[in-house]
Amino acid sequence: MDAEPAQGRNMENLEERGHLLTEQVNPNSQNLDQLTSLELVDLFNQEDAKTLSAIATARTQLAQAIDCTANALAQGGRLFYVGAGTSGRLGVLDAAECPPTFCTPPELVQGIIAGGAGALVRSSEDLEDKAQDGVEAIAHRHVTELDVVVGITAGGTTPFVHGAIQAARQRGAKTILIACVPTEQVSLEVDLDIRLLVGPEVLAGSTRLKAGTVTKMALNILSTSVMVRLGKVYGNRMVDVAVTNKKLHDRALRILQDLTSLNREEAGFLLERSGRRVKLALLMHWTGLDAEEGEHLLSTNQENLRKAVLSCQG
């Protein structure tokens, strides 16, 4: 199906957003400016509880997004988050946290924000209105049919995201939309449509609040689960952690100690022998292989530690 008509329909009347769920007035906070500090805290807490229900309602779509993304990355694809303002910053944040947590190359998960790096610390909300910038961002990163592009837009109408999604579809990439409005208010042709309906904000229209919180939750679930599926986790331990500072060095040693009978000094020696790769260190300890042999075994088992250990035992 040609994507152009869908884009045309959804780009109409973008100035008229009052009907959107994210722009409506929350009846529970009509007297927001008259509340005490304690009452404010209680109100925010009550409203934020709705984020859990929104995630639960979208559980099937989130699971499908995990499968889609894990399959793409396993075949050499990349994951891109695209957004503007708060949505863009959340995408960049999630992407930036993948290399230290899972030792992924920085190009594997990338955040694209309208306005570029400067928009991370300065408001550049006017740049979200340029659909062509979204198209160019996709072209600049040479997105292909192997990749997954996740458009993040609380209100669903951001032209920058629409442009990026349309461009990604034309290049054959898998596309996912994360929005906080129902499909009958804003629709967009994508492979997977995730709607996180948390209702009107405590401060009307301020989607950095509940919408931002639920989006961060969804991205946490998506990226972490994808890395689990890619074998970067053993049990619930981040065995692909990048040992780049004292805190992470300590965490690596504790993982080794917890999963083996080694004391801290022995764990430290093993970690150094493995080139500071926790996953490889564990494989070496459990199988008796040296570093080179362990590397080869991991490679033949798609870097999955559990599969590598089982293949050696078999």
Q: How far apart are CA 235 and CA 239, in angstroms?
A: 9
In sequence order, what are the residues at sequence separation of 6 or more whose Cβ sits closer than 8 angstroms to the Cβ of residue 173? 143, 144, 145, 146, 147, 148, 149
Is 15 annotated in the active site?
A: no
Contacts for 91-97: CB closer than 8 Å, 24+ residues apart: 91/150, 91/152, 91/219, 92/120, 93/216, 94/216, 94/219, 94/220, 94/223, 95/223, 97/223
Is 128 annotated in the active site?
A: yes
CB contact at 8 A, 132 and 162: no
Question: Among the options 23, 128, 201, 303, which is catalytic?
Answer: 128
Question: Among the options 97, 136, 266, 293, which is catalytic?
Answer: 97
Encoded amino acid at 182, one letter: P
Q: How far apart are CA 66 and CA 147, in angstroms?
A: 13
CA dihedral (191, 139, 166, 201) positive or negative:
positive
The residues annotated with a catalytic role in the active site are 97, 128
